[in-house]
């Protein structure tokens, strides 16, 4: 089995082109991970996700813990076999639900006690239990349990959460041990406070983990705040380790974060937006709910290899979305997933060619101009 590692092939300004190696396969970076919360990327077959170019998907520890249960998935051969995916899987730790389900949980030094949003049952999640669950799932990259704070927040709250996350990171590191071909990433926290972010990044770097995540962003703060935190954190994190910005984001978020040295991303946006009638294209966003598409015979993008992008008219997609037809949501989710992977490939190529800044400027200029006829 291949050892877990990261090879940096090219840099262009802050942007990095690399490869993450796992025991289950390689991940070309910069990489975008489609989100398979409950063992499925919503609205898509995993063959479609693979054909779009995704090397890795994300699974959600909290939701899989509730149903069908980590022990059951383990008995069924692990998450890869359960869902029919033979490439790497990254699992989050449940830390985001500490924030998003705050009305259903209680915090302590030991961990988090959740009240299930499904059936009201009580579950305890310590750092050790989070790593145990992720091990039962069989994921290739695991996340430490952390406390994610919604922004804006007061300084004391951000400091306490950052310090607790560091203590939990150490406990997760010990619980994870040394697993061939796999990795556990620490998560930089600190809200929108530069000094807290720096303190967190330096403390995690001292733990000598196999990779580092940047969490607690895209949780309500403006984009410029997120980018400012990346400007602080990325130069501190080791250049020879992968950097993962959690829960991000829009195509523009990806482009601007790659410019600052981020290697990996995940977000529900491609599929969630697709379910709500929004398509991301090379010319910008297209809202298929708008009446102006009702008699538009053009496809979303006839230059894309994806059938959803190329073979269906905007008029038909508009009809499906306005009618609430499941097929419309599936087609737009497929298109968006394909577009995100296309964008990452284009960024990787631009970095290799030493023209990332020009590519980013050209891409944003086209987005800003937009498809006037269609938008």
Look at residues 164, 236, 165, 166 and name the one whose alpha carbon lies nearest to residue 194. Answer: 236
- Determine how β-strand 183-188 pairs with β-strand 141-143: parallel
Distance (Å, whole) CA 210 – CA 142: 10
User: How is residue 217 annotated by DSSP?
Assistant: -
Tokens of 120: 């009201």
What lies within 8 Å, CB to CB, of 201 at 6+ separation is: 188, 212, 232, 233, 236, 237
Tokens of 72: 């059951």
Tell me if residue 47 is catalytic: no
- Residue 148: CB atoms within 10 A of its CB come to 23
Distance (Å, whole) CA 232 – CA 336: 31
3-class DSSP assignment, residue 20 = strand
Q: Residue positions in the annotated binding site?
A: 92-96, 146, 189, 216
Among residues 140, 266, 296, 301, the one annotated as catalytic is 266
3-class DSSP assignment, residue 48 = helix
Answer yes or no: are the C-beta atoms of 257 and 277 closer than 8 Å.
no
Answer yes or no: are the C-beta atoms of 228 and 216 closer than 8 Å.
no
3-class DSSP assignment, residue 26 = strand
Helix (H) or strand (E) holding 8: strand 5-12
- Region for residue 222 given its phi and psi (left: phi exceeds 0; alpha: psi -120 to 50; beta: otherwise): beta
Q: Residue positions in the annotated binding site for substrate?
A: 92-96, 146, 189, 216
Helix (H) or strand (E) holding 123: strand 122-125
Distance (Å, whole) CA 204 – CA 207: 5
Distance (Å, whole) CA 29 – CA 49: 17
Among residues 12, 55, 92, 140, the one annotated as catalytic is 92
Tell me if residue 92 is catalytic: yes
Residue 90, preceding peptide bond in cis (omega within 30° of 0): no
Q: Report the catalytic residues.
A: 92, 266
């Amino acid at each position: 089995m291949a050892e877990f590692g990261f090879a940096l092939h090219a840099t262009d300004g802050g942007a990095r082109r690399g490869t993450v190696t796992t025991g289950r396969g390689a991940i070309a970076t910069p990489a975008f991970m489609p989100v398979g919360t409950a063992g499925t990327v919503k609205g898509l077959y995993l063959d479609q996700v693979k054909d779009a170019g995704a090397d890795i998907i994300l699974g959600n520890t909290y939701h899989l813990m509730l149903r069908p249960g980590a022990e059951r998935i383990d008995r069924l051969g692990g998450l890869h076999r359960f869902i029919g995916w033979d490439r790497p899987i990254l699992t989050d730790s449940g830390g985001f639900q500490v924030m998003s389900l705050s009305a259903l949980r209680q915090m302590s030094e030991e961990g988090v006690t959740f009240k299930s949003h499904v059936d009201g049952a009580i579950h305890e999640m310590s750092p050790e239990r989070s790593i145990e669950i992720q091990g039962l799932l069989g994921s290739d990259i695991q996340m430490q349990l952390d406390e994610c704070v919604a922004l804006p927040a007061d300084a004391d709250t951000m400091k306490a959460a950052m310090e607790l996350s560091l203590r939990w990171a150490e406990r997760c590191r010990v619980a994870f041990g040394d697993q061939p071909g796999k990795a556990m990433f620490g998560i930089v926290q600190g809200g929108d406070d530069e000094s807290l972010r720096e303190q967190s990044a330096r403390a995690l770097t001292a733990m000598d983990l196999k990779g580092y995540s940047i969490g607690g962003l895209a949780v309500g703060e403006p984009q410029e705040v997120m980018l400012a935190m990346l400007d602080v954190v990325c130069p501190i994190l080791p250049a020879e380790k992968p950097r993962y910005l959690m829960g991000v984001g829009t195509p523009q978020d990806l482009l601007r974060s790659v410019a600052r040295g981020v290697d990996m991303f995940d977000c529900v946006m491609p599929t969630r937006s697709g379910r709500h009638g929004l398509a991301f294209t090379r010319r910008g966003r297209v809202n298929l709910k708008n009446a102006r598409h009702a008699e538009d015979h053009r496809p979303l993008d006839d230059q894309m290899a994806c059938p959803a992008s190329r073979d269906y008219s905007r008029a038909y997609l508009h009809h499906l979305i306005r009618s609430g037809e499941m097929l419309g949501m599936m087609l737009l989710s497929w298109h968006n997933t394909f577009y995100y992977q296309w964008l990452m490939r284009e960024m990787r190529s631009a970095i290799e060619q030493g023209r990332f800044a020009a590519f980013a400027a050209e891409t944003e200029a086209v987005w800003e101009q937009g498809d006037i006829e269609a938008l």
